[in-house]
Structure 1
Amino acid sequence: MTSIEPSKALLKHFDISDYERASPGGQKTVFIVTIANQKYALKIIKVADERFEREVKICKQFDGNKGIPVIKKIEKFGKDTIILEEYIEGNDLSELVSDYVGNAPKVCKVIYAASNILKPVWNANYVHRDLKPPNIRIRANGQPVILDFGIARALDDESITGTGIQPYTWPFASPEQFDGHKKLISYRTDFFCLGIIAYHLYTDSLPFGKTRDEIDRSFQDNRLIVDSGNESINIFCNGVFKHNPSERPRKIESFLNLIKL
């Protein structure tokens, strides 16, 4: 992997005293930088496209929600756009799975907290569309933060039902994402994805298979019933693991009531 270094001009302009190297990620490179003894996530955006604009819009719209990173500054620097964002101390769920395996109350607690962070986002008619362990970071105090709203969508946005490939992460995707049924995507898509995360955290496995082909075959069966070995996890997962989104909880409160704390 090729290491990436910030330019001397960028370090000087933002008065960065220290930084951690980052690797490139498509049109975005992220460094963890120190400015005036405070850590930030500094994102270098090569092309300020609609994904960038959407992520900024959502983060700003829900400024004050402690479960969504705060954007401190947006600035043009040369040909790039720079975002200076709150740095979330902690680890993401993909690094913490062993802490949750077999601990149903802990799994339910983190899923409930993540869902409450997303509740106002869902109420505003957005869907995240890429909920997965790497996109949920846990602060030192145990509270989750939802990351990467870059592929989130407003449900009244025509492009969500337009042509083209819809982005998703296949191990944690819903049937409608897997099948490319764009018109079926809603916040109930996020419900399904949170069910997969809960099952994964409790069992350290995936509910519908380890490969795309296995998951695809599982999704051909409309009866997506799982047995995690725990009643609370089963109630939640089987409440949201419905092939047809219309069969999942219609109201956010009904969804939250499936999570047994």
Structure 2
Amino acid sequence: MRSPTLTVEDVKKIIDNQESISDLEFLSKGGQKVVFKCKINDDYYTLKFLELSDWDDSGDLNETHDIQSEILARATREIDIMRKCDTPTLVKLGPIGMTLTEYNGKKFLYFSEEFVEGEDLFQILSKRTLSQMEAIQLGIDIATAIEHLWSIGMVHRDIKPKNIMRKMDGTFVLLDTGIAFDTQGKALTQAFHIVGTRIYMSPEQLANIKASLDFRSDLYLLGIVLYESLTGKHPFFTPGINSVQLVSRVIGGEYEPISQLCKDIHPKLERLINRLLSVQPHLRYRSCSSLIQQLKKIREEL
């Protein structure tokens, strides 16, 4: 799925009837979305655009319909989750709900979200690792987000540095809930490419055992992110590795001990991350609250 090609001028024409929107500027592009920053009634938000008609020339009407339905379903799910989960650790819905429109013969979907001022974790880790105190804050905040998602029967499934923002006050926010798996209803597919790339997937995700997915799968992904945040290295991916080797390492739980890469790590924090990275879900934490409690205890000892 490709992100749409839109300029600031294009968006101004699309939202021409929205007098409350001003200060529009391009923010980012990737995956299925192109994102703009704007001011709505004097507060900053992001506007996310997804193109629905980019697939009309594929030649396969059934495939086109399926892809468009998938995009709509993901956007609807993302908006629904933002409405249901009231926590500062998950991004909030803005004043403009899901809107369908046409521009230059193409169909677009757009909606607004809370603007999170800060830097995504991927950008941060490209420059430095996190301190143990920062990593503990990351763990507390993302575990809180996972807990709120699970309270409505959702599993995020895509927790990775690019989907985590560090706010100016040092707290963290989890983004992009559109791929979330509804344990009580229809599951959305997850498209991913693992050849030559880092992956953030639990063993049960790789095995495609959707029936067994619960919050513990997200805790595993949090374990990967914490490992990488402290060491600067993905626990399973190394340059040049092929997909078979990569999956084998995940399934086998093969990774270099954190203490060999981060010499001063608190032993309890290392054990906590090792527990999150357990291959078997039942060996991870039984609840997010118990994980959060343990992280807070370790913070007191640092």
Q: Which residue of 2 aligns with 1:46?
A: 51
**Counterpart residue identity of residue 76, structure 1:** L
Structure 1 residue 199, shift from structure 2 partner: 0.7
Q: Which residue of 1 aligns with 2:39?
A: 34
Structure 1 residue 129, shift from structure 2 partner: 0.4
Change (3 A) 1:99 1:13: same
1:118 aligns with 2:146: yes
State the alpha-carbon separation in 2 of the partners of residues 27 and 103 from structure 1: 33
Aligned partner of residue 22 in structure 2, secondary structure: strand
Shifted more, 39-48 versus 2-11: the winner is: 2-11
Q: Which residue of 2 aligns with 1:238?
A: 274
State the alpha-carbon separation in 1 of the partners of residues 130 and 44 from structure 2: 34
Q: Which residue of 1 aligns with 2:23?
A: 18
Contact 2:227 2:258 in 1 (8 A): no
Structure 1 residue 222, shift from structure 2 partner: 5.0
1:80 aligns with 2:108: yes
Aligned partner of residue 101 in structure 1, secondary structure: coil
Aligned partner of residue 65 in structure 1, secondary structure: coil
Larger Rg: 2
Gaps of 5+ in 2: 53-70
Superposition RMSD in Å? 2.8
Structure 1 residue 165, shift from structure 2 partner: 5.5
- Residues 12-46 of structure 1: CA deviation (Å, up to 9, x unaligned): 32234332225654543221123454322111233
Residue identity over aligned pairs, in percent, reads 25
Q: From 219, 228, 240, give the equivalent of 1:191.
A: 219
Q: Which residue of 2 aligns with 1:255?
A: 291
Change (3 A) 1:17 1:221: closer
Q: From 232, 236, 252, give the equivalent of 1:208.
A: 236
Contact 1:166 1:182 in 2 (8 A): no
Q: From 53, 60, 66, give the equivalent of 2:83.
A: 60
Q: From 234, 248, 252, give the equivalent of 1:221.
A: 252
Contact 2:74 2:179 in 1 (8 A): yes
Aligned partner of residue 21 in structure 1, secondary structure: strand
Structure 1 residue 202, shift from structure 2 partner: 0.5
**Counterpart residue identity of residue 17, structure 1:** S
State the alpha-carbon separation in 2 of the partners of residues 50 and 245 from structure 1: 28
**Counterpart residue identity of residue 215, structure 1:** L
Structure 1 residue 182, shift from structure 2 partner: 2.3
Gaps of 5+ in 1: none
Shifted more, 44-53 versus 221-230: the winner is: 221-230
Contact 1:166 1:180 in 2 (8 A): no
Change (3 A) 1:139 1:23: closer
